[in-house]
Amino acid sequence: MKIATWNVNSIKIRLERLLAWLPIHSPDVVCLQETKSIDENFPEDALREAGYHTAYFGQKTYNGVAILSRKPLCDVQLGLAPALEDPQARFVSADVEGVRVLCAYVPNGSTVDSDKYAYKQRWLRALDAYLESQSPDQPLVLCGDLNIAPDDLDVAKVEAWKDSVLCHHDARQAFERLLAWGLTDVVRRFHPEGGLYSWWDYRQLAFPKNDGLRIDHILATEPLAALCTGAYVDRDQRKGKQPSDHAPVVAEFNR
């Protein structure tokens, strides 16, 4: 089972690229973030023709998440309620062949002293509460743009980013709580040396300079993580015409 996560930064603008990308990897499950589409406009038909069932939770202009799956999606849940009554569409979960798949778009947080950062912290606490309703002994995968670079190994220019909301101590602690609950960072497991990034700013030639951060993640409970045979970032998708500012992250499981 191959599982991917990709912040597409508008499903409308990225649909052509997404449809071209799917056959390259033939992922079984794809978690998408920042679809920026109301549900009526979600390209369900085009994705069905590409061979995917879809579960989506969108809103106007901002946010929006979706799960694509070759196999049917069961028990679809939209949002983090009752842990959080969130007016923003940032979370969708579903079962795929006995695996609970969680797709999250964690708030960015803007600046450390902003209300948005308080919301990010609150949101991450609600994610903890959601996980408490699940078991780390069952196959579960948390995918998404977590807007956290968990370690300096995940930041190309550490000094330039040390005060950002992506690297802040509280955000990194929230990531550690996910690991403490029972999740494994499978990309870290296969690349302990670091230096893999999943996001590069559109501005200031960040990608050619490789001024990147790893903020998109695939975290799996041990029953699933133990079966992981590889995990990587598909950097090629940041190249070329009209890329998202995020590249897809992919993990393969022998099940």
Partner DNA sequence: ATGGCCAATTTTATTGGA
Name the H helices within the chain: 11-25, 44-49, 115-132, 158-161, 169-181, 186-190, 222-225
Q: Which is nearer to DNA, 118 or 205 (CB)?
A: 205
| Residue 139, H or E segment | none
With beta carbons less than 8 A apart as the criterion, state whether 28 and 254 touch: no
Instruction: Give me the 111-130 binding string for DNA, x by CB under 7 A, dash otherwise.
Output: -----x--------------
Report in angstroms how near the CB of residue 109 gets to DNA at its nearest. 8
Q: Which is nearer to DNA, 111 or 229 (CB)?
A: 111
Q: Identify whether 105 is a catalytic site residue.
A: yes
Q: Hey, what are 15's tokens? A: 């649909």
- Per CB under 7 A, contacts with DNA among 85-114 are 107-108, 110
Q: Which is nearer to DNA, 221 or 244 (CB)?
A: 244
Show Cβ contacts of residue 103 under 8 Å, excluding neighbours closer than 6 positions: 5, 31, 32, 33, 65, 66, 67, 91, 92, 93, 143, 144
Q: Identify whether 151 is a catalytic site residue.
A: no
Q: Which residues pair with 250 in a beta bridge?
A: 4, 232
Letter for the amino acid at 217?
H
Report in angstroms how near the CB of residue 60 gets to DNA at its nearest. 4
Report in angstroms how near the CB of residue 213 gets to DNA at its nearest. 6
Query: CA-CA distance, 5 to 103, in Å (whole number)?
Result: 8
Q: Which is nearer to DNA, 217 or 246 (CB)?
A: 246
């069905």: which residue's tokens? Answer: 48
Say whether residue 13 binds DNA (CB under 7 A).
Answer: yes
Report in angstroms how near the CB of residue 228 gets to DNA at its nearest. 25
Q: Hey, what are 230's tokens? A: 């590889």
Say whether residue 237 binds DNA (CB under 7 A).
Answer: no
Show Cβ contacts of residue 127 under 8 Å, excluding neighbours closer than 6 positions: 80, 83, 91, 104, 106, 178
Q: Which is nearer to DNA, 70 or 246 (CB)?
A: 246
Report in angstroms how near the CB of residue 110 gets to DNA at its nearest. 5
Say whether residue 62 binds DNA (CB under 7 A).
Answer: yes
Burial classification of residue 235, based on how many CB atoms lie within 10 Å of its CB (0-12 exposed, 13-18 middle, 19 or more buried)? middle
Q: Which is nearer to DNA, 173 or 204 (CB)?
A: 204
- Per CB under 7 A, contacts with DNA among 160-219 are 166, 199, 201-205, 207-208, 210, 213, 215
Binding region for DNA (CB under 7 A): 7, 9-10, 12-13, 34, 36, 38, 60-62, 107-108, 110, 116, 145, 147, 166, 199, 201-205, 207-208, 210, 213, 215, 238-240, 242-243, 245-246
Which are the catalytic amino acids?
105, 145
